[in-house]
C-alpha cells in the first residue's frame, strides 16, 4: 500500500472513530435519502480539531499552494477554516487569514454578514467544507465572497467527495468547475471509503458489512458518477 493510500485509510478511520462518517438512514441537504452521511459537526475535541486542521492544511500546501485566506461557510465550515489556519501556521509558518459568514446579517455594531479577516481585492481564497453532494452550499456562499471583494477562489477542500451528479447530470465537482472555475480537492471519495471499510473491523465492529455495501452500491448506481 502506498503512503497516499495509507494516509487516506487513516483519515477514513479517523472520521469513523469521531462519529463523523456514519452509516444508516439519512437525508442529504439536496433531499436524497442516503445510507451514509458525513457530519463534521460531530468533531468535539481539541485533538480531533488539530488532526483535521493538519489534514486540510497538507492538502492545501501540496495541491493548491500559498493562499491569502480561508473561508468557512457557516456553520460546519467555520471550525474547518479556523483549525486549518492554525495548522498552516504551525506546520508551514504561513500566517493565513480566515473568515466565515453569518446565517443572518448583523444589524448592529459593525453590521454585515462576514466575520474574521477582511477580504481585499486580489486575495487568493480557499474554501473549507465538509462534503460535496450537489454543490448547493458553495453556490449559496459564492455571492457573499464576490460581494466582499474581487477575489480568486483557489479551490474547495472537502473531507469527502460523494461523487454525486449535480443539477445538470454531471458531477457536482464538474459543474462547480464549469460554472465557476472552482477546482475541488477531496481528501477521500466515497468509493475509497467503501473500499477501505468493507468487511474491515474498527474497534471491534464491522463498519460496512455486505448488506450495507449493497445499499451503498445501489445508491451510488442511482446518483453517483461511474468515474
Transcribe 83-98 into DSSP letters: HHHHHHHHHH----EE
Whether 42 maps to a domain, the answer reads yes
Count how many domains the chain has: 1
pLDDT band at 109 (very low <50, low <70, confident <90, very high): very low
In the set 66, 106, 120, 168, the catalytic residue is 106
Give the domain CATH number at 180: 3.40.50.2020
Instruction: Answer yes or no: is 132 a known binding residue.
Output: yes
Which segment of 67-71, 78-82, 174-178, 200-204 scores lowest on mean pLDDT?
A: 174-178
Whether 78 maps to a domain, the answer reads yes
Establish whether 106 is a catalytic residue: yes
Whether 15 maps to a domain, the answer reads yes
Whether 2 maps to a domain, the answer reads yes
Predicted confidence at residue 16, as pLDDT, reads: 97
The predicted model gives 77-93 an average pLDDT of: 96
Establish whether 108 is a catalytic residue: yes
> How far, in Å, CA of 18 to CA of 39, rounded?
10
Question: Pick the residue with more confidence: 125 or 146?
Answer: 125
Question: Does this model's pTM top 0.85?
Answer: yes
Whether 7 maps to a domain, the answer reads yes
pLDDT at 3 over 80: no
Whether 227 maps to a domain, the answer reads no
DSSP assignment of 148-203 equals H-S-EEEEEEEEEE--BB-TTSSBHHHHHHHHH---EEEEEEHHHHHHHHBT-EET
Q: Is the peptide bond before 75 cis (omega within 30 degrees of 0)?
A: yes
- H or E stretch including 139? helix 136-148
pLDDT mean across residues, the chain:
90
Instruction: Answer yes or no: is 9 a known binding residue.
Output: no
pLDDT at 54 over 60: yes
Predicted confidence at residue 137, as pLDDT, reads: 77
Instruction: Answer yes or no: is 215 a known binding residue.
Output: no
> How far, in Å, CA of 224 to CA of 163, rounded?
5
Predicted confidence at residue 166, as pLDDT, reads: 66
Whether 226 maps to a domain, the answer reads no
Predicted confidence at residue 164, as pLDDT, reads: 85
Provide the domain limits for residue 130.
1-221
Amino acid at each position: 500500500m502506498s503512503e497516499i493510500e495509507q494516509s487516506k485509510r487513516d483519515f477514513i478511520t479517523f472520521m469513523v472513530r469521531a462519529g463523523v462518517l456514519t452509516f444508516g438512514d439519512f437525508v442529504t441537504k439536496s433531499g436524497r435519502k442516503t445510507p451514509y452521511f458525513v457530519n463534521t459537526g460531530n468533531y468535539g475535541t481539541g485533538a480531533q480539531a488539530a488532526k483535521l486542521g493538519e489534514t486540510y492544511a497538507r492538502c492545501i500546501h501540496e495541491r493548491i499552494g500559498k493562499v491569502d485566506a480561508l473561508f468557512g461557510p457557516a456553520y460546519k465550515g467555520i471550525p474547518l477554516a479556523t483549525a486549518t489556519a492554525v495548522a498552516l501556521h504551525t506546520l508551514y509558518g504561513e500566517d493565513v487569514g480566515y473568515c466565515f459568514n453569518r446565517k443572518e446579517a448583523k444589524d448592529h455594531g459593525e453590521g454585515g454578514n462576514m466575520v474574521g479577516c477582511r477580504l481585499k481585492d486580489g486575495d487568493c481564497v480557499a474554501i473549507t467544507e465538509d462534503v460535496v453532494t450537489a454543490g448547493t452550499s458553495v453556490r449559496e456562499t459564492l455571492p457573499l465572497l464576490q460581494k466582499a471583494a474581487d477575489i480568486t477562489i483557489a479551490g474547495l477542500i472537502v473531507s469527502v467527495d460523494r461523487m454525486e451528479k449535480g443539477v445538470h447530470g454531471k458531477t457536482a465537482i464538474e459543474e462547480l468547475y464549469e460554472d465557476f472555475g472552482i477546482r475541488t480537492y477531496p481528501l477521500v471519495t466515497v468509493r475509497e471509503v467503501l473500499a477501505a471499510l468493507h468487511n474491515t473491523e474498527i474497534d471491534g465492529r464491522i463498519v460496512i458489512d455486505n448488506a450495507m455495501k449493497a445499499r451503498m452500491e445501489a445508491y451510488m448506481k442511482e446518483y453517483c458518477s461511474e468515474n
